[in-house]
Amino acid sequence: MAEETKPKAKKEKPPAIEDKPFTEFMEQHFTPTLKESLSKQGLNDIELSFTKAPVSIPGAVSDETCWQVIGTWNKGQRQFKLYFPEEDIKGQKAFSYAVNGKSPSTIESFMIDERKITLDLMVLYTLQRLNGQKWLTRN
């Protein structure tokens, strides 16, 4: 008698962390990973917060709030914000920055061409954007 061969059960892949609920992903994964990456870039006094707040651009009149990651360092002299109006990492995102405690003057689209959004890409794009301001390394 030949032994019966049972089909091997496929191992279920755990869901990607990017598929977690928005606030859980941002609080438990993105914000801590970004803070660690910024610390590795030499920003030891970086403060990151994840909060729902109005968009604070001078001249913009809006009572609507959206989720934001707010980063400040250098005794509050440098600040950036990532905006998530759709409460979805795959949705629209925007970026602003400010210096010397002032409000940001413009808001820019952020990660608009990416088809797949991952934790690593979000952190990389944030670092690249800050480096574009010469805030992380000097040329």
Residues 23 and 29: their CA atoms lie apart, in Å, by 10
Q: pLDDT of 15-38, one tens digit each?
A: 788 889 999 999 999 999 999 999
pTM of the model: 0.81
Residues 42 and 24: their CA atoms lie apart, in Å, by 27
Specify the pLDDT at position 74: 85
Highest mean pLDDT among 55-59, 81-85, 130-134: 81-85
Query: Which has more confidence, 41 or 15?
Result: 41
User: Once rounded to an integer, what is the mean pLDDT over residues 8-20?
Assistant: 78
Q: pLDDT of 75-100, one tens digit each?
A: 888 899 999 999 999 999 999 998 88
DSSP, residue by residue, 36-73: HHHHHTT-TT-EEEEEEEE---TT-----EEEEEEEEE
Query: Nearest 5 degrees, angle CA 128-CA 133-CA 137?
Result: 70
User: Once rounded to an integer, what is the mean pLDDT over residues 116-136?
Assistant: 88
Specify the pLDDT at position 107: 83
Kindly report the average pLDDT of the chain as a whole number: 84
Contacts of 12 (CB under 8 A, 6+ apart): none
pLDDT grade for 137, boundaries at 50, 70 and 90: low
Residues 9 and 91: their CA atoms lie apart, in Å, by 35
